[in-house]
Amino acid sequence: MLLWVVVGAALLLSLLLPFVLKPILQKLGVLDVPNERSSHTSVVIRGVGITVAIGIFVGLSLSILTGLVPVDRSIVLIILAIVSAAALLGWIEDYRGLSIRSRALVQLAIGAIGTAALAWTTEQSFWWIPVGALAVAAYVNAANFMDGINGISGFHGVLVGVFYSVAGAMVGQFWLTVAGLVVAAAFAGFLPWNLGRGFVFLGDVGSYLLGASIAGMAVAGLLAGVYLEYLFSPVLIYLADTFITFLRRVRAGERWYASHREHVYQRLTDVGLSHVQAALVVTVSSALVGVAGFVLATAPPPLAIACSLFAASVVALYIYSPRILGGRRTAQVVVR
């Protein structure tokens, strides 16, 4: 019962606080003005990810203060610190702006300090610190790059949160079950605001929050002995989209960090899918790869090979989906 009180608090705060926050952000001028590289055409309030951050902060804090998490409360506290620091950095970027170098250094510092604390708590080697620092910084940026259409980040937060909560239950890490459900609930509360009429954006505060929440749980889970497949598979589509786009832009001699519309999910909207449809393609693909990864973790060799091939096929199909759908659309136009 207490678990659902904690999860419900995260959901309700994320769902209701935008009523209070929207006019404040509008007065402060925290707005997203569309340009030629945007996937929207009107000025939109951004920064509403603050409400998701409050939902996660309160949910994780309650899980500690109420004794819901009987052991490993220090892990939850460290994840809370990582998430809060990343969200604060994102808010500063939303409100005032920061140089790319400053953002990168702070992201790496958050990851390094957080991983050091987790390594100390779980009695793991401090050699994990550079790995954790890169993982947190990389996924914060991946989540930020992928936050370009309505629904995609909210769905991703719900999906990965649920997968991680199931992973925690399967390996006896209750802190991960609680943290995953809190993150899923908070992002679920944001979805109606992002998908409904008069929609709003997470902003950098929300996308940094998303990336840090997932990366923080993943690093903590890895150090606590959770199967790598459980942690890696639900985020593989996001990583593949980000990495392939990065390579494509570097090979073309373009600035990889500049705004663009070359991600797979963005090109899906260019070939006729709506924001929600494209976001669902990403989410369903992530879910399929996630299920394959969960089976792969403990499967015998023949089944493990089949799961690996299935996951690779889903990733490949996703990467080439804009070309496939674009070809069908062209063929239909020619036939007509």
Q: Give the pLDDT confidence of 193-203 residue by residue, as tens digits.
A: 999 766 899 99
Cβ contact 30:20 at 8 Å = no
Task: Give yes or no: residues 85 and 125 share one domain.
Answer: yes
Q: What's the confidence (pLDDT) of residue 252? A: 79
Residue 45 has what DSSP assignment? E
With contact defined as beta carbons under 8 Å apart, do 282 and 240 qualify? no
- Residue-level pLDDT at 331: 54
Give the amino acid at 20: V
Where is the domain boundary, 226, 252, 271?
226
Tell me the pLDDT tens digit for each residue of 149-189: 999 999 999 999 999 999 999 999 999 999 999 999 999 99
**Largest pairwise CA distance in the chain:** 66
Residue 245, amino acid:
T
- Asked whether residue 68 falls in the same domain as residue 106, the answer is yes
Q: Cβ(224)–Cβ(72) under 8 Å?
A: yes
Is residue 242 within 8 A of residue 235, CB to CB? The reply is no
* pLDDT at residue number 333: 47
Average pLDDT over residues 10-37: 88
Domain around 72: 1-226
Domain count, the chain: 2
Q: Are residues 262 and 197 in the same domain?
A: no
Q: Could you identify the residue written with the tokens 């950098």?
A: 204
Whether residue 64 has pLDDT greater than 80: yes
> For the chain, what is the mean pLDDT?
93
Rounded Cα–Cα distance for residues 63 and 149 (Å): 32
| Domain closes at, from 175, 192, 226 | 226
Whole-number Å distance between alpha carbons of 122 and 137: 21
Q: For residues 161 and 281, state if they share a domain.
A: no
Contacts of 136 (CB under 8 A, 6+ apart): 82, 86, 107, 108, 110, 111, 114, 115, 211, 212, 215, 216, 219
> Is 198 in the same domain as 310?
no
pLDDT the model gives residue 335: 47
d(CA 137, CA 107) in angstroms, rounded, equals: 5
pLDDT in tens, 289-304: 999 999 999 999 999 9
Question: Do 260 and 220 belong to one domain?
Answer: no
**Whether 64 and 181 share a structural domain:** yes
Considering the domain architecture, whether residues 214 and 280 belong to the same structural domain is answered as no
Rounded distance between C-alpha atoms, residue 262 and residue 285, angstroms? 19
Distance from C-alpha of 261 to C-alpha of 317, rounded to nearest angstrom: 19
Please list, in sequence order, all residues whose beta carbon lies within 8 angstroms of the beta carbon of residue 280, skipping any fewer than 6 positions away: 151, 155
Looking at 184, 202, 226, which one is the last position of a domain?
A: 226
| Residue with token string 């496939």 | 324
